[in-house]
Amino acid sequence: MQIDTRLGYNYLDKFEFTDEWQYLSTDMYLFNPSKFSRVINELEQGTTKARRRDYINLESLFISAQLKNAKLFGQEPVVYPLYNFSIDNSKQGYTTTTSDNIDAIRIIDKLPLAADERNIDALVEAKLFTSDSRELFFHLIANQLTNISKQVSLQAAMLSLVGEFGNLIRNSAQRKEYKFSSTIRLYEGQNFDTRLHSVRVYVFVPSFAKIPALRTARLTELLSSSPQGFERAKLEAALAYKDYPVLVVANYKSLYRMDALTGSEITSETIERRRVRIENAYGAGLVNDDAYKQEKFFIEFLRSFADLKQKLNSYQLNYKNNSPEANAKTLFAVIQEYKRLKTMASLRDQEFSRNSTYQRIFKNEYESILANADGYMESDHNLKNGKELVNTLLVLDREQTKPYTQPQREFYLSRLYSVELPSKDYLTSTLEGEGISRHLNRLETAQYTDLFARDVVRLRDAPPTEENVSFRNSVLEKASTTKCRSCRDEVQQAARQFNQRLEEQQLQQERIKLQELNQQVEQKIFAYLKRDDCLDTIFKTQYPADALPDFIQRLYEKKVELRKQVTELDNLYKAPPKELKLSLLKEHNQRLAVRLKLLDQGYADICTAEKTLCGCD
């Protein structure tokens, strides 16, 4: 006895379901169940007299479904018992005992699909059983229970399905209506986006009947405008079909969603709980390979973020210890972790640029964690500079061979030197420190070549002339404005070499000057002593000692003072610097020259004040 299940309508939503839409939910709606009486009566009427006796003992109508493209329970086919209706036979014909209004049933809810299961289809069957074929009914049930027993996973789902077959047997024995009622759920997570994937309308008709054409315009309009689902009443109204029983199968796909975390929630404990949860879910087949892989990568990223938080805490606790080197090390530890976090996110972005699971689900979460990290790196001036340092390093890492302009190099050097870093030996012992040193060397070498190399070469060999002194000053001034430290060092070294030559030249000049001054002093001292004796004689012969006019007394006192200065000059002349350093020699020569000038001027002033004293010239 054959009731055909014919596909009368097939709807596939135009939305692009990518691999991360990996969970399936299926609802079934039975309309016009009372019309099964018509189907059975038409079958009986269209059957030969020899076969009509097969309809005498009709007991039940059994409706089942098997999802063809969703092997949720392994390789064995699993049939879902949907409905079982008892059948009565009277002179007026066959009737099925059904409820007036049968609610929709959800046979599965958010069960994982394999990545290659793009389309979803169901094999729906309606079978009539008589009292003589009851063993076939129980044979079907026994086969399904045997298939279920072969499953090694999804035990909770299997047990619920076993319970459904138990209810089917009990209700059948009592000739009661049976309806599937145990929705199979494996994933209880609430964070899902769900939308309509496809709808199929099956019509139950006699095998020889022609199915009337369904008017589907209103139905298509309803489905295309209801991505989140629809009400049974609206579906029935849009279908508007009353001739035969109809089973509508509505499939929904759900998008995998990860558990979002804020920065304050990320600790070693929460990360470990997340790891255990995803491992258990993957072991139970609740997430596909791609989502599991992305979760593993994200957990690694979370660990890096937790390390950054720990280093930030150490930095903040130890920053006031008044040890510059210790502070530099704790700050650099923060910079290291922040760069590792940023680098990891960048690598993920590159590696999974075409991976829809990453792009649609995980990328936003990476960006959210990075935003938290950026916020932490804004909490003080040093951390802000550390953040800019890392961003600069990432740019330089990406542009290893890019030639930069002089202003660009200055900008990057200012960023790299914006943080007080630990010692060079400490830096080169770390991967991040070695990277900083490498980029500094690259930038400074180019800046030196462009801006200072020719000047340094010229300055190293330049003779110590007045013109080159001006050139030295201009090069030093230019070097003082650059962030290139090695450039400044090279300029300063060349300037020191120039200064050494200049000092040697000036020292030689001062030596010659000393010789000349010594000759003058030796001659002058004789002249000063002779003049002093002459003036002394004049004062004694022309002006009585007990009656000197006031102005003559003042001149005499000046003469006595000049005599003392002659003695001081003589002593200075006889005690040259023991070390022939430029500064000492220059100071000595200046003192000699000044004393000679003062003595010459002093004796000249006496002569000018009193003409009678000029005879000693």
pLDDT (mean) for 28-57: 71
Task: Quickly state the pLDDT bin for 57 (edges 50, 70, 90).
Answer: low
pLDDT of residue 492: 95
Alpha-carbon distances of 329 from 391, 419, 453, 459, 504, rounded to whole Å: 19, 11, 34, 38, 45
Burial of 331 (0-12, 13-18, 19+ CB in 10 A): buried
Task: Quickly state the pLDDT bin for 394 (edges 50, 70, 90).
Answer: very high
Alpha-carbon distances of 441 from 412, 434, 447, 475, 485, rounded to whole Å: 12, 11, 10, 21, 10
- What is the per-residue pLDDT across 325-342, written as a single tens digit (0 to 9) for each? 888 899 999 999 999 999
* Mean of pLDDT over the chain: 83
The token pair at 592 is 């000699």
- What is the per-residue pLDDT across 115-163, written as a single tens digit (0 to 9) for each? 555 566 677 777 777 766 667 777 777 777 776 676 655 555 566 777 7
Other CB atoms within 10 A of residue 597 CB: 10
Containing H/E element for 247? Answer: strand 246-255
Q: Which has the higher per-residue pLDDT, 22 or 558? A: 558
Q: What is the percent of the chain where pLDDT is above 70?
A: 85
By C-alpha distance, which of 301, 421, 318, 291 is closest to 372? 301
CA-to-CA distance for 120 and 190, rounded, in angstroms?
23
Other CB atoms within 10 A of residue 428 CB: 12
By C-alpha distance, which of 293, 316, 301 is closest to 263? 301
Cβ contact 252:195 at 8 Å: yes
Q: What is the pTM of this model?
A: 0.66
pLDDT of residue 50: 44
Mean pLDDT comparison of 84-93, 379-388, 531-540, highest-scoring range: 379-388
Containing H/E element for 350? Answer: helix 324-351
- What is the per-residue pLDDT across 241-250, written as a single tens digit (0 to 9) for each? 988 888 899 9
Q: Using CA of residue 290, residue 295, residue 300, residue 305, what is the dihedral sign?
A: positive
- What is the per-residue pLDDT across 479-514, written as a single tens digit (0 to 9) for each? 999 999 999 999 999 999 999 999 888 888 888 888
By C-alpha distance, which of 207, 57, 46, 199 is closest to 125? 207
Segments in 150-288 forming alpha helices (H): 155-173, 217-224, 232-239, 268-283
CA 273, 274, 276 angle in degrees (round to 5)? 65
Strand partners for 124: 65
pLDDT (mean) for 79-88: 77
